[in-house]
Amino acid sequence: MNTGTTDEPQSALETRGLEPVPDAERTARTRELFPTWVAANISVLLLTMGASLVVAYKLNFWQAIVVAVAAPVVSYGLVGLIGIAGKRGGAPGMALSRAVFGQRGNLLPGSLIWVARWGWETINAVTGAYAVLTVLDILFGIKSNTFLIIVTLAVFVVITFAISGLGIHVVQKCNKYATFLFGGFSVLVLVYLVMNTHWSAVFDQPAGKTSLMVAGTGMIAAGGVSWIPSAPDFARYLPRDASAKAIVGNSIGGAGIVVLPMVLMGAVMAVSTPDLASAADPVSFLGEILPMWIAVPYLLIALVGMLLINSMSMYSAGFTAQTLGFKIPRHWAVSVNAVISLVFGGILMLVATSFMGSFIAFLSLLAVAFSAWVGVFGADMLRRTEYDAKALLDTGRTSAYWYKGGFSPAAVIAWAVGLVGGLMFTTSDWFTGPLSANNPIGEYGLGWVATIVISGLLYLALPKPAVVPAEPSEEANSPETLAV
């Protein structure tokens, strides 16, 4: 409730929007980030991506282990670092971004990130609908058809909207229970695979190129990169003196404990079922590989996980919509993305012929879109340890973050140059940059890394407007508590 009291965290409906959370309400614990980032990765898409490491990238089991460890460390390490801004400012990431880009300048990366979330939420909604269709087929022999596709997709989106609309407290509670359920059944699947896999075939796989290991790491890390702008949204209820190391550690740990086994399971499954990496949908293969008594509950739990992933994404998208000028409460701003994911999801399920091909192409472009913001915002965190709560909400000329006509030239220029530069080094089925061939960056699929480096370094080099000290508040802690 928006009362300024400590009662708000116990309410089912979170009504707080872009405004920074008062210190009295910031009672969260860093350990709560662990199940948050566990839930953000409960997706069978990781199985298919693990299979791609073996089938498409030609890596062996040991190389897949290296990739599955490196990817979450890199991507969720960045998630944790940017999440520190949430405990510093107590506001959502795209609201804090106003201090960096200016009140008008923030509309540029905000619009791109909001649109990019449409695609991510569509992918997850489609995957969830496929999970339901697969369960119906396994249990009742009901085959997919256009009517069922529309109904299952609609049900998935409506439930997602309900969870994300209620807010952070409901999302976190669901994440906690989903973590235990998914963890238990993942162990069950692992035990089954250990007992029924021809391990000689797995270990006899020849090693692939080192360049493809790097490319595979980039492919899996790209999913984590998409969460970086949302990191402050889930850390804003942490007290100002929360441990920065704990924020980073819980982010990496929560993601890693899911990514590692899921990717390895996909890699192992692909040895006996190579078609897994190019399946028409990313879910139905589980009904063929696993016995029904494991496949059905596992798919249902994975479905819950995908609901939570989309709920977290839509939760953040609601804030982004508000920063773009939607004058509606956060829980209604979420509905905009819900409708969009329903429409786009229907198109993907009914028209697209290669789900995985579309997904990988989308991931590569999505990561670049998010990384341009990450580079600038992350570089700005090196010089800014606090945010002016009043200036964040003041979108007019009186705001301390108005800068020059509402824009911070350094941030906007660095963002735009980084975005264009990253795309030039990016290659996918949908887009090939002119500089993506015959160089390590393009070969390794690291266009998103180039984007972060270009935008971050350029922002540091360009002259910037002075950082306006935040106005002191009665609730603020001492300056020492604001340091990382």
The domain spanning residue 53 has which CATH number? 1.10.4160.10
Q: Which domain holds residue 320?
A: 24-354
Where would I find the beta strands (DSSP E) of 191-292? Answer: none
* Predicted local confidence at residue 415, as pLDDT: 96
In a domain, 377, yes or no: no
Geometric angle at alpha carbon 346, from 340 and 351, rounded to 5°: 130
In a domain, 74, yes or no: yes
Q: Judge whether residue 358 has pLDDT over 70.
A: no
What value does the mean pLDDT take over residues 261-282?
75
Q: Judge whether residue 80 has pLDDT over 80.
A: yes
Is 190 within 8 Å of 367 (Cβ atoms)? Answer: no
What value does the mean pLDDT take over residues 184-191?
77
* Predicted local confidence at residue 484, as pLDDT: 35
Confidence of residue 98 (pLDDT cuts 50, 70, 90): very high
Give residue-wise pLDDT tens across range 366-390.
788 889 999 999 999 998 988 999 9
In a domain, 200, yes or no: yes
Confidence of residue 277 (pLDDT cuts 50, 70, 90): low
Euclidean distance between CA atoms 79 and 81, whole angstroms: 6
Residues in contact with 222: Cβ distance below 8 Å, sequence separation at least 6, in sequence order: 75, 363, 364, 366, 367, 448
Give the tokens for residue 233.
């949204």
How many Cα neighbours within 13 Å face the side chain of 137? Answer: 19
Q: Judge whether residue 112 has pLDDT over 80.
A: yes
* Predicted local confidence at residue 94, as pLDDT: 92
| Domain count along the chain | 1
Give residue-wise pLDDT tens across range 120-158.
777 778 777 888 888 888 888 888 788 888 888 888 878
In a domain, 444, yes or no: no
In a domain, 426, yes or no: no
Q: Judge whether residue 91 has pLDDT over 70.
A: yes
Q: Judge whether residue 305 has pLDDT over 80.
A: no
Q: Residue holding tokens 């520190």?
A: 84
More confident residue, 423 or 8: 423
In a domain, 373, yes or no: no
In a domain, 369, yes or no: no
Euclidean distance between CA atoms 292 and 296, whole angstroms: 6
Confidence of residue 482 (pLDDT cuts 50, 70, 90): very low
Q: Residue holding tokens 């789900």?
A: 355
* Predicted local confidence at residue 159, as pLDDT: 82
How many Cα neighbours within 13 Å face the side chain of 186? Answer: 25
Its pTM stands at 0.83
Confidence of residue 451 (pLDDT cuts 50, 70, 90): very high
When mean pLDDT is compared over 54-58, 69-73, 314-318, 341-345, the highest value belongs to: 69-73
Give the tokens for residue 463.
């002259």
Give the tokens for residue 79.
């998630």
Q: Judge whether residue 187 has pLDDT over 90.
A: no
Q: In one letter, which amino acid is 391?
A: A
Residues in contact with 122: Cβ distance below 8 Å, sequence separation at least 6, in sequence order: 340, 341, 344, 345, 348
| Three-state secondary-structure class, residue 242 | coil
Confidence of residue 411 (pLDDT cuts 50, 70, 90): very high
In a domain, 119, yes or no: yes
